[in-house]
Structure 1
Amino acid sequence: MSTITLSNGTTIPKIGLGLWQVPADEVQANVEQGLEIGYRHFDGAAAYGNEEGFGAAIRATDVPREDLFITTKLQNSDQGYNEALAGFEASMDRLGLDYVDLYLIHWPLPKRGLYIETWKAFEEIYNSGRAKAIGISNFMPSAIEAVLDSAAIAPMVNQFEAHPSLQQRGYEAASRKAGMAVEAYSPIGHGADIANPVVEEIAAAHNASPAQVVLAWHLAQDRIVIPKSRHLERMQENFEATKLELGTEDLSRIDALESGIRQNADPETKNS
Protein backbone atom coordinates (compact mmCIF):
# COMPACT_ATOMS: atom_id res chain seq x y z
CA MET A 1 0.00 0.00 0.00
CA SER A 2 1.24 3.48 -0.86
CA THR A 3 2.33 5.50 2.16
CA ILE A 4 3.44 9.00 3.12
CA THR A 5 6.31 9.56 5.54
CA LEU A 6 5.53 12.13 8.21
CA SER A 7 8.05 14.67 9.47
CA ASN A 8 9.08 12.39 12.35
CA GLY A 9 9.63 9.37 10.08
CA THR A 10 6.32 7.64 10.82
CA THR A 11 4.64 6.20 7.73
CA ILE A 12 0.91 6.50 7.12
CA PRO A 13 -1.08 4.65 4.44
CA LYS A 14 -2.44 7.10 1.87
CA ILE A 15 -5.92 5.59 2.00
CA GLY A 16 -7.80 4.80 5.19
CA LEU A 17 -11.31 3.96 6.32
CA GLY A 18 -13.15 6.79 8.06
CA LEU A 19 -15.43 5.87 10.98
CA TRP A 20 -17.52 9.04 11.26
CA GLN A 21 -21.26 8.30 11.56
CA VAL A 22 -20.69 4.57 11.92
CA PRO A 23 -23.05 3.48 14.74
CA ALA A 24 -21.38 2.11 17.86
CA ASP A 25 -23.04 -1.27 17.40
CA GLU A 26 -21.80 -1.56 13.82
CA VAL A 27 -18.27 -0.18 13.98
CA GLN A 28 -16.52 -3.42 14.97
CA ALA A 29 -17.96 -5.22 11.95
CA ASN A 30 -17.15 -2.21 9.73
CA VAL A 31 -13.50 -2.22 10.80
CA GLU A 32 -13.27 -6.01 10.49
CA GLN A 33 -14.62 -5.81 6.93
CA GLY A 34 -12.07 -3.12 6.18
CA LEU A 35 -9.28 -5.32 7.49
CA GLU A 36 -10.42 -8.18 5.24
CA ILE A 37 -10.37 -5.89 2.21
CA GLY A 38 -6.85 -4.73 3.02
CA TYR A 39 -7.29 -1.43 4.84
CA ARG A 40 -4.62 -0.88 7.46
CA HIS A 41 -5.40 2.77 8.29
CA PHE A 42 -8.52 3.59 10.33
CA ASP A 43 -9.63 7.07 11.36
CA GLY A 44 -11.79 7.54 14.45
CA ALA A 45 -12.52 10.19 17.07
CA ALA A 46 -13.87 10.44 20.59
CA ALA A 47 -16.74 12.53 19.21
CA TYR A 48 -17.88 9.66 16.99
CA GLY A 49 -18.99 7.70 20.06
CA ASN A 50 -17.69 4.39 18.73
CA GLU A 51 -14.17 4.00 20.12
CA GLU A 52 -15.08 0.87 22.11
CA GLY A 53 -16.09 -1.12 19.05
CA PHE A 54 -13.24 0.36 17.02
CA GLY A 55 -10.73 -0.83 19.60
CA ALA A 56 -12.40 -4.23 19.91
CA ALA A 57 -11.88 -4.86 16.18
CA ILE A 58 -8.22 -3.89 16.41
CA ARG A 59 -7.64 -6.09 19.44
CA ALA A 60 -9.37 -9.06 17.78
CA THR A 61 -7.57 -9.02 14.45
CA ASP A 62 -4.68 -11.30 13.53
CA VAL A 63 -3.04 -8.41 11.67
CA PRO A 64 0.05 -7.39 13.66
CA ARG A 65 -0.50 -4.14 15.53
CA GLU A 66 2.64 -2.62 13.99
CA ASP A 67 1.07 -3.05 10.54
CA LEU A 68 -1.94 -0.92 11.48
CA PHE A 69 -2.31 2.85 11.62
CA ILE A 70 -4.89 3.96 14.18
CA THR A 71 -6.06 7.56 14.53
CA THR A 72 -8.34 9.10 17.10
CA LYS A 73 -9.12 12.71 18.01
CA LEU A 74 -9.64 14.79 21.13
CA GLN A 75 -13.21 15.61 22.07
CA ASN A 76 -13.87 19.36 21.78
CA SER A 77 -15.06 19.54 25.39
CA ASP A 78 -11.66 18.22 26.51
CA GLN A 79 -9.56 21.12 25.25
CA GLY A 80 -7.13 22.64 27.76
CA TYR A 81 -3.90 21.17 29.14
CA ASN A 82 -5.18 18.96 31.97
CA GLU A 83 -8.44 18.27 30.18
CA ALA A 84 -6.60 17.05 27.06
CA LEU A 85 -4.43 14.68 29.07
CA ALA A 86 -7.54 13.25 30.72
CA GLY A 87 -9.35 13.08 27.37
CA PHE A 88 -6.51 11.08 25.87
CA GLU A 89 -6.59 8.62 28.77
CA ALA A 90 -10.35 8.22 28.33
CA SER A 91 -9.91 7.46 24.62
CA MET A 92 -7.18 4.93 25.36
CA ASP A 93 -9.40 3.22 27.92
CA ARG A 94 -12.26 3.00 25.42
CA LEU A 95 -9.99 1.74 22.65
CA GLY A 96 -8.17 -0.70 24.93
CA LEU A 97 -4.89 -0.06 23.12
CA ASP A 98 -1.38 0.67 24.38
CA TYR A 99 -0.84 3.44 21.83
CA VAL A 100 -2.34 5.19 18.84
CA ASP A 101 -0.45 6.03 15.69
CA LEU A 102 -1.92 9.52 15.34
CA TYR A 103 -3.72 11.77 17.82
CA LEU A 104 -5.39 14.95 16.55
CA ILE A 105 -6.96 18.06 18.03
CA HIS A 106 -10.34 17.71 16.34
CA TRP A 107 -11.21 21.42 15.91
CA PRO A 108 -9.40 24.68 16.80
CA LEU A 109 -12.50 26.35 18.35
CA PRO A 110 -10.89 29.79 17.94
CA LYS A 111 -13.13 31.76 20.31
CA ARG A 112 -12.39 29.37 23.16
CA GLY A 113 -8.68 30.04 22.73
CA LEU A 114 -7.52 26.76 24.25
CA TYR A 115 -5.75 25.04 21.38
CA ILE A 116 -2.27 26.33 22.31
CA GLU A 117 -2.36 24.85 25.81
CA THR A 118 -4.04 21.77 24.37
CA TRP A 119 -1.08 21.36 22.02
CA LYS A 120 1.28 21.44 25.02
CA ALA A 121 -0.57 18.39 26.35
CA PHE A 122 -0.22 16.74 22.95
CA GLU A 123 3.53 17.26 23.08
CA GLU A 124 3.59 15.50 26.45
CA ILE A 125 1.52 12.63 25.06
CA TYR A 126 3.88 12.32 22.11
CA ASN A 127 6.96 12.33 24.34
CA SER A 128 5.40 9.51 26.37
CA GLY A 129 5.38 7.32 23.26
CA ARG A 130 1.66 6.59 23.49
CA ALA A 131 0.96 8.55 20.32
CA LYS A 132 3.44 7.81 17.53
CA ALA A 133 2.50 11.07 15.79
CA ILE A 134 0.42 14.10 16.73
CA GLY A 135 -1.40 16.63 14.62
CA ILE A 136 -4.35 18.90 14.12
CA SER A 137 -7.66 18.80 12.30
CA ASN A 138 -9.62 21.63 10.68
CA PHE A 139 -6.88 24.17 11.47
CA MET A 140 -6.91 27.22 9.22
CA PRO A 141 -3.67 29.09 8.35
CA SER A 142 -3.94 31.57 11.25
CA ALA A 143 -4.35 28.76 13.79
CA ILE A 144 -1.49 26.79 12.23
CA GLU A 145 0.77 29.81 12.62
CA ALA A 146 -0.30 30.30 16.25
CA VAL A 147 0.52 26.68 17.11
CA LEU A 148 3.91 26.85 15.39
CA ASP A 149 4.82 30.05 17.23
CA SER A 150 4.69 28.30 20.59
CA ALA A 151 5.29 24.64 19.73
CA ALA A 152 8.31 22.63 20.80
CA ILE A 153 7.11 19.87 18.47
CA ALA A 154 5.44 20.85 15.21
CA PRO A 155 2.20 19.10 14.18
CA MET A 156 2.78 16.30 11.70
CA VAL A 157 -0.66 16.17 10.02
CA ASN A 158 -3.50 18.58 9.29
CA GLN A 159 -6.77 16.82 8.48
CA PHE A 160 -9.51 18.95 6.95
CA GLU A 161 -12.44 18.85 4.56
CA ALA A 162 -11.21 18.73 0.98
CA HIS A 163 -12.86 17.58 -2.25
CA PRO A 164 -13.15 18.93 -5.80
CA SER A 165 -15.80 21.53 -4.92
CA LEU A 166 -13.91 22.70 -1.79
CA GLN A 167 -10.19 22.27 -2.29
CA GLN A 168 -8.98 24.62 0.47
CA ARG A 169 -5.67 25.31 -1.23
CA GLY A 170 -4.81 27.93 1.40
CA TYR A 171 -5.15 25.35 4.17
CA GLU A 172 -3.08 22.92 2.13
CA ALA A 173 -0.30 25.41 1.36
CA ALA A 174 -0.01 26.52 5.00
CA SER A 175 0.05 22.91 6.17
CA ARG A 176 2.74 21.83 3.73
CA LYS A 177 4.84 24.92 4.47
CA ALA A 178 4.77 23.89 8.13
CA GLY A 179 5.98 20.39 7.22
CA MET A 180 2.64 18.67 7.73
CA ALA A 181 1.07 15.94 5.65
CA VAL A 182 -2.39 16.82 4.33
CA GLU A 183 -5.29 14.50 5.05
CA ALA A 184 -8.66 14.98 3.35
CA TYR A 185 -11.90 14.03 5.04
CA SER A 186 -15.21 14.01 3.15
CA PRO A 187 -12.94 13.45 0.12
CA ILE A 188 -15.82 12.92 -2.30
CA GLY A 189 -17.90 15.76 -0.85
CA HIS A 190 -20.52 13.54 0.82
CA GLY A 191 -21.20 12.12 -2.62
CA ALA A 192 -21.96 15.47 -4.25
CA ASP A 193 -18.77 15.63 -6.29
CA ILE A 194 -19.11 12.16 -7.78
CA ALA A 195 -22.32 13.28 -9.49
CA ASN A 196 -20.48 16.02 -11.39
CA PRO A 197 -20.61 15.41 -15.17
CA VAL A 198 -16.88 16.06 -15.54
CA VAL A 199 -16.08 13.38 -12.96
CA GLU A 200 -18.55 10.99 -14.56
CA GLU A 201 -16.99 11.54 -17.98
CA ILE A 202 -13.47 10.89 -16.69
CA ALA A 203 -14.71 7.79 -14.88
CA ALA A 204 -16.26 6.40 -18.05
CA ALA A 205 -13.05 6.99 -19.97
CA HIS A 206 -11.05 5.03 -17.39
CA ASN A 207 -13.64 2.30 -16.81
CA ALA A 208 -13.66 3.37 -13.16
CA SER A 209 -16.27 4.62 -10.73
CA PRO A 210 -16.66 8.38 -10.09
CA ALA A 211 -15.60 7.84 -6.47
CA GLN A 212 -12.41 6.14 -7.62
CA VAL A 213 -11.67 9.08 -9.91
CA VAL A 214 -12.03 11.65 -7.12
CA LEU A 215 -9.95 9.58 -4.70
CA ALA A 216 -7.26 9.07 -7.36
CA TRP A 217 -7.24 12.86 -7.91
CA HIS A 218 -6.43 13.34 -4.22
CA LEU A 219 -3.81 10.60 -4.16
CA ALA A 220 -2.06 12.02 -7.24
CA GLN A 221 -1.55 15.24 -5.29
CA ASP A 222 -0.08 13.42 -2.30
CA ARG A 223 -3.08 13.82 -0.01
CA ILE A 224 -4.11 11.14 2.44
CA VAL A 225 -7.79 10.22 2.07
CA ILE A 226 -10.20 8.62 4.55
CA PRO A 227 -13.46 7.86 2.72
CA LYS A 228 -16.12 6.26 4.89
CA SER A 229 -18.61 3.61 3.95
CA ARG A 230 -20.66 0.93 5.70
CA HIS A 231 -21.19 -0.99 2.45
CA LEU A 232 -18.70 -3.72 1.59
CA GLU A 233 -18.84 -3.17 -2.16
CA ARG A 234 -18.21 0.58 -1.81
CA MET A 235 -15.40 0.01 0.70
CA GLN A 236 -13.72 -2.32 -1.80
CA GLU A 237 -14.27 0.13 -4.65
CA ASN A 238 -12.72 3.00 -2.67
CA PHE A 239 -9.72 0.89 -1.67
CA GLU A 240 -8.98 0.04 -5.29
CA ALA A 241 -8.72 3.73 -6.19
CA THR A 242 -5.01 3.35 -5.44
CA LYS A 243 -4.68 1.44 -8.74
CA LEU A 244 -6.06 4.27 -10.88
CA GLU A 245 -3.70 6.78 -12.48
CA LEU A 246 -5.14 9.96 -13.95
CA GLY A 247 -3.52 12.03 -16.66
CA THR A 248 -2.52 15.67 -16.33
CA GLU A 249 -5.58 16.82 -18.28
CA ASP A 250 -7.89 14.77 -16.04
CA LEU A 251 -6.34 16.31 -12.93
CA SER A 252 -6.65 19.83 -14.33
CA ARG A 253 -10.31 19.32 -15.21
CA ILE A 254 -11.07 18.21 -11.66
CA ASP A 255 -9.02 21.10 -10.25
CA ALA A 256 -11.34 23.43 -12.15
CA LEU A 257 -14.40 22.18 -10.22
CA GLU A 258 -13.68 24.40 -7.20
CA SER A 259 -16.88 26.16 -6.14
CA GLY A 260 -16.33 26.88 -2.45
CA ILE A 261 -19.21 24.64 -1.38
CA ARG A 262 -18.58 23.40 2.16
CA GLN A 263 -20.27 20.21 3.35
CA ASN A 264 -19.21 20.43 6.99
CA ALA A 265 -18.81 23.07 9.70
CA ASP A 266 -16.57 26.08 9.06
CA PRO A 267 -13.48 26.00 11.30
CA GLU A 268 -13.44 29.80 11.40
CA THR A 269 -16.82 29.91 13.16
CA LYS A 270 -17.23 26.55 14.91
CA ASN A 271 -16.65 27.03 18.65
CA SER A 272 -18.31 24.09 20.37
Structure 2
Amino acid sequence: MSNRLQSKVIIVTGGSSGMGSAFARRAASEGATVLIGARDKERGEATVADIAREGGKALFVPTDVTVEEEVAHLVDVAVKEFGGLHGAFNNAGGGNSQGAIRTIDASFWDSVLALNLTSVFYSLKHEIPAIVASGGGSIVNNASVVGVVGDPAAAAYSAAKHGVVGLTRSAALDAAKEGVRVNALVTGLVNTPLWQGFSASNPEAASGLLNQQPTGRAADEAEIAAFAAFLLSDESPFITGAALAIDGALTAGF
Protein backbone atom coordinates (compact mmCIF):
# COMPACT_ATOMS: atom_id res chain seq x y z
CA MET A 1 0.00 0.00 0.00
CA SER A 2 1.29 3.48 -0.85
CA ASN A 3 1.83 6.27 1.66
CA ARG A 4 0.20 8.97 -0.46
CA LEU A 5 -1.92 10.16 2.49
CA GLN A 6 1.06 10.27 4.85
CA SER A 7 0.80 12.99 7.52
CA LYS A 8 -2.70 14.02 6.45
CA VAL A 9 -5.45 14.40 9.04
CA ILE A 10 -8.76 13.24 7.57
CA ILE A 11 -12.28 13.24 8.97
CA VAL A 12 -14.70 10.45 8.02
CA THR A 13 -18.35 10.95 8.93
CA GLY A 14 -20.45 7.83 9.11
CA GLY A 15 -17.21 5.91 9.41
CA SER A 16 -18.35 3.26 11.86
CA SER A 17 -19.48 0.78 9.17
CA GLY A 18 -19.94 0.27 5.45
CA MET A 19 -18.16 2.53 2.98
CA GLY A 20 -17.07 4.92 5.71
CA SER A 21 -15.34 2.21 7.71
CA ALA A 22 -13.72 0.79 4.57
CA PHE A 23 -12.39 4.22 3.65
CA ALA A 24 -11.13 4.89 7.20
CA ARG A 25 -9.11 1.67 7.04
CA ARG A 26 -7.80 2.49 3.58
CA ALA A 27 -6.80 6.05 4.53
CA ALA A 28 -5.04 4.88 7.69
CA SER A 29 -3.18 2.21 5.73
CA GLU A 30 -1.91 4.97 3.43
CA GLY A 31 -0.54 6.96 6.34
CA ALA A 32 -3.39 9.29 7.31
CA THR A 33 -4.55 10.04 10.82
CA VAL A 34 -8.28 9.35 10.71
CA LEU A 35 -11.05 10.81 12.87
CA ILE A 36 -14.26 8.82 12.68
CA GLY A 37 -17.34 10.89 13.47
CA ALA A 38 -20.48 8.76 13.91
CA ARG A 39 -23.28 7.91 16.31
CA ASP A 40 -22.50 4.19 16.62
CA LYS A 41 -19.86 4.18 19.35
CA GLU A 42 -19.42 0.41 19.48
CA ARG A 43 -18.77 -0.01 15.78
CA GLY A 44 -16.75 3.19 15.56
CA GLU A 45 -14.42 2.13 18.33
CA ALA A 46 -14.15 -1.34 16.79
CA THR A 47 -12.98 0.22 13.53
CA VAL A 48 -10.45 2.34 15.43
CA ALA A 49 -9.18 -0.76 17.23
CA ASP A 50 -8.81 -2.63 13.93
CA ILE A 51 -6.85 0.28 12.46
CA ALA A 52 -4.57 0.38 15.51
CA ARG A 53 -3.89 -3.36 15.25
CA GLU A 54 -2.81 -2.81 11.66
CA GLY A 55 -0.39 -0.06 12.73
CA GLY A 56 -2.57 2.89 11.76
CA LYS A 57 -3.72 5.92 13.71
CA ALA A 58 -7.39 6.72 14.31
CA LEU A 59 -9.73 8.30 16.83
CA PHE A 60 -13.46 7.89 17.32
CA VAL A 61 -15.41 11.07 18.12
CA PRO A 62 -19.13 10.53 18.91
CA THR A 63 -20.92 12.75 16.39
CA ASP A 64 -24.49 13.29 15.27
CA VAL A 65 -23.96 15.02 11.94
CA THR A 66 -27.46 16.48 12.02
CA VAL A 67 -26.36 18.69 14.95
CA GLU A 68 -24.10 21.55 13.86
CA GLU A 69 -22.40 21.90 17.25
CA GLU A 70 -21.31 18.26 17.14
CA VAL A 71 -19.89 18.63 13.64
CA ALA A 72 -18.02 21.75 14.74
CA HIS A 73 -16.65 19.80 17.72
CA LEU A 74 -15.42 17.02 15.44
CA VAL A 75 -13.46 19.50 13.34
CA ASP A 76 -12.18 21.22 16.48
CA VAL A 77 -10.84 17.91 17.82
CA ALA A 78 -8.95 17.32 14.59
CA VAL A 79 -7.29 20.72 14.78
CA LYS A 80 -6.52 20.69 18.49
CA GLU A 81 -5.42 17.06 18.82
CA PHE A 82 -3.56 16.63 15.53
CA GLY A 83 -2.59 20.14 14.48
CA GLY A 84 -4.86 20.66 11.50
CA LEU A 85 -7.23 19.17 8.95
CA HIS A 86 -6.32 18.19 5.40
CA GLY A 87 -9.32 16.28 4.13
CA ALA A 88 -12.74 14.80 4.78
CA PHE A 89 -14.94 12.02 3.47
CA ASN A 90 -18.49 13.15 4.23
CA ASN A 91 -20.18 9.79 4.06
CA ALA A 92 -22.90 9.86 6.73
CA GLY A 93 -26.37 9.31 5.34
CA GLY A 94 -29.00 6.75 4.55
CA GLY A 95 -32.43 6.31 3.06
CA ASN A 96 -35.05 3.86 1.96
CA SER A 97 -38.12 3.70 -0.22
CA GLN A 98 -40.90 5.97 0.96
CA GLY A 99 -43.54 5.55 -1.71
CA ALA A 100 -45.10 8.23 -3.88
CA ILE A 101 -44.43 11.89 -3.06
CA ARG A 102 -48.08 12.44 -2.10
CA THR A 103 -47.72 9.86 0.70
CA ILE A 104 -44.54 11.24 2.34
CA ASP A 105 -44.96 12.64 5.82
CA ALA A 106 -43.37 16.06 6.34
CA SER A 107 -41.43 14.92 9.40
CA PHE A 108 -39.95 12.04 7.42
CA TRP A 109 -38.96 14.45 4.64
CA ASP A 110 -37.25 16.72 7.16
CA SER A 111 -35.35 13.84 8.76
CA VAL A 112 -34.06 12.52 5.43
CA LEU A 113 -32.85 15.94 4.32
CA ALA A 114 -31.27 16.58 7.71
CA LEU A 115 -29.24 13.37 7.60
CA ASN A 116 -28.28 13.41 3.92
CA LEU A 117 -28.03 17.10 2.95
CA THR A 118 -27.98 19.47 5.91
CA SER A 119 -25.27 17.32 7.51
CA VAL A 120 -23.06 17.88 4.47
CA PHE A 121 -23.68 21.63 4.70
CA TYR A 122 -22.62 21.60 8.36
CA SER A 123 -19.54 19.54 7.47
CA LEU A 124 -18.44 21.80 4.63
CA LYS A 125 -19.13 24.94 6.67
CA HIS A 126 -16.68 23.86 9.37
CA GLU A 127 -14.23 21.73 7.40
CA ILE A 128 -13.36 24.25 4.71
CA PRO A 129 -11.96 26.97 7.03
CA ALA A 130 -9.93 24.37 8.94
CA ILE A 131 -8.49 22.94 5.72
CA VAL A 132 -7.68 26.43 4.42
CA ALA A 133 -5.85 27.18 7.68
CA SER A 134 -3.91 23.93 7.26
CA GLY A 135 -2.66 24.87 3.80
CA GLY A 136 -5.33 23.31 1.61
CA GLY A 137 -6.67 19.87 0.91
CA SER A 138 -9.58 17.88 -0.42
CA ILE A 139 -13.15 16.96 0.52
CA VAL A 140 -15.22 14.12 -0.90
CA ASN A 141 -18.99 14.01 -0.38
CA ASN A 142 -20.72 10.68 -0.87
CA ALA A 143 -23.77 11.25 -3.06
CA SER A 144 -25.58 8.50 -4.97
CA VAL A 145 -26.83 7.60 -8.42
CA VAL A 146 -30.14 9.10 -7.29
CA GLY A 147 -28.26 12.35 -6.93
CA VAL A 148 -28.21 12.57 -10.73
CA VAL A 149 -31.37 10.63 -11.68
CA GLY A 150 -34.78 10.48 -10.06
CA ASP A 151 -36.42 7.67 -8.09
CA PRO A 152 -40.20 7.81 -7.72
CA ALA A 153 -40.04 5.56 -4.65
CA ALA A 154 -37.39 7.60 -2.82
CA ALA A 155 -38.16 11.24 -3.53
CA ALA A 156 -36.77 12.66 -0.28
CA TYR A 157 -33.52 10.72 -0.54
CA SER A 158 -33.14 11.63 -4.21
CA ALA A 159 -33.82 15.30 -3.50
CA ALA A 160 -31.22 15.27 -0.73
CA LYS A 161 -28.57 13.61 -2.88
CA HIS A 162 -29.27 15.99 -5.78
CA GLY A 163 -28.69 18.71 -3.21
CA VAL A 164 -25.36 17.16 -2.23
CA VAL A 165 -24.21 17.33 -5.85
CA GLY A 166 -25.23 20.99 -6.15
CA LEU A 167 -23.70 21.85 -2.78
CA THR A 168 -20.47 20.13 -3.82
CA ARG A 169 -20.19 22.19 -6.98
CA SER A 170 -20.95 25.44 -5.15
CA ALA A 171 -18.41 24.67 -2.43
CA ALA A 172 -15.76 23.79 -5.01
CA LEU A 173 -16.22 27.15 -6.72
CA ASP A 174 -16.23 28.97 -3.40
CA ALA A 175 -13.02 27.37 -2.11
CA ALA A 176 -11.01 26.79 -5.30
CA LYS A 177 -8.71 29.79 -4.93
CA GLU A 178 -7.99 28.85 -1.32
CA GLY A 179 -6.60 25.45 -2.21
CA VAL A 180 -9.57 23.30 -1.21
CA ARG A 181 -10.96 20.78 -3.69
CA VAL A 182 -14.50 19.43 -3.28
CA ASN A 183 -15.93 16.49 -5.23
CA ALA A 184 -18.91 14.16 -5.00
CA LEU A 185 -19.05 10.41 -5.53
CA VAL A 186 -22.05 9.15 -7.49
CA THR A 187 -22.15 5.66 -6.02
CA GLY A 188 -24.38 2.84 -7.21
CA LEU A 189 -24.97 -0.53 -5.60
CA VAL A 190 -22.27 -1.26 -3.02
CA ASN A 191 -21.87 -4.48 -1.06
CA THR A 192 -22.27 -2.91 2.37
CA PRO A 193 -23.86 -4.57 5.43
CA LEU A 194 -27.01 -2.59 4.61
CA TRP A 195 -27.14 -4.08 1.10
CA GLN A 196 -26.42 -7.56 2.46
CA GLY A 197 -29.27 -7.25 4.93
CA PHE A 198 -31.62 -6.00 2.22
CA SER A 199 -30.62 -8.84 -0.10
CA ALA A 200 -31.21 -11.43 2.61
CA SER A 201 -34.67 -10.12 3.50
CA ASN A 202 -35.74 -9.13 -0.02
CA PRO A 203 -33.99 -11.54 -2.40
CA GLU A 204 -36.38 -10.95 -5.30
CA ALA A 205 -36.06 -7.17 -5.10
CA ALA A 206 -32.28 -7.42 -4.74
CA SER A 207 -32.09 -9.66 -7.79
CA GLY A 208 -34.13 -7.16 -9.76
CA LEU A 209 -31.76 -4.34 -8.83
CA LEU A 210 -28.73 -6.42 -9.82
CA ASN A 211 -30.38 -7.21 -13.15
CA GLN A 212 -30.49 -3.45 -13.83
CA GLN A 213 -26.78 -3.21 -13.08
CA PRO A 214 -24.75 -3.46 -16.33
CA THR A 215 -21.84 -5.13 -14.52
CA GLY A 216 -24.19 -7.64 -12.90
CA ARG A 217 -22.76 -7.06 -9.44
CA ALA A 218 -22.52 -4.57 -6.63
CA ALA A 219 -19.25 -2.73 -6.01
CA ASP A 220 -17.00 -3.86 -3.21
CA GLU A 221 -16.53 -1.34 -0.41
CA ALA A 222 -12.79 -1.41 -1.08
CA GLU A 223 -13.36 -0.13 -4.63
CA ILE A 224 -15.14 2.96 -3.30
CA ALA A 225 -12.48 3.46 -0.63
CA ALA A 226 -9.64 3.31 -3.16
CA PHE A 227 -11.22 5.96 -5.39
CA ALA A 228 -12.02 8.24 -2.46
CA ALA A 229 -8.41 7.91 -1.26
CA PHE A 230 -7.19 8.96 -4.70
CA LEU A 231 -9.42 12.06 -4.64
CA LEU A 232 -8.17 12.97 -1.16
CA SER A 233 -4.55 12.57 -2.17
CA ASP A 234 -2.23 15.04 -3.91
CA GLU A 235 -2.43 12.87 -7.05
CA SER A 236 -5.72 14.50 -8.11
CA PRO A 237 -4.87 18.23 -7.96
CA PHE A 238 -7.03 19.34 -10.90
CA ILE A 239 -10.18 17.41 -10.00
CA THR A 240 -12.69 19.61 -8.21
CA GLY A 241 -16.37 20.46 -8.55
CA ALA A 242 -17.07 17.06 -10.12
CA ALA A 243 -19.80 14.49 -9.56
CA LEU A 244 -17.88 11.32 -10.37
CA ALA A 245 -19.78 8.13 -11.15
CA ILE A 246 -18.47 4.96 -9.58
CA ASP A 247 -21.55 2.93 -10.40
CA GLY A 248 -20.59 0.19 -12.86
CA ALA A 249 -22.23 2.10 -15.75
CA LEU A 250 -25.62 2.17 -13.99
CA THR A 251 -26.25 5.80 -14.99
CA ALA A 252 -24.54 5.54 -18.39
CA GLY A 253 -27.76 4.55 -20.09
CA PHE A 254 -30.06 7.17 -18.54
Report the TM-score when normalising by structure 2.
Answer: 0.40
Name whichever structure is richer in helix by fraction: 2
Q: What is the TM-score with the length of structure 1 in the denominator?
A: 0.38
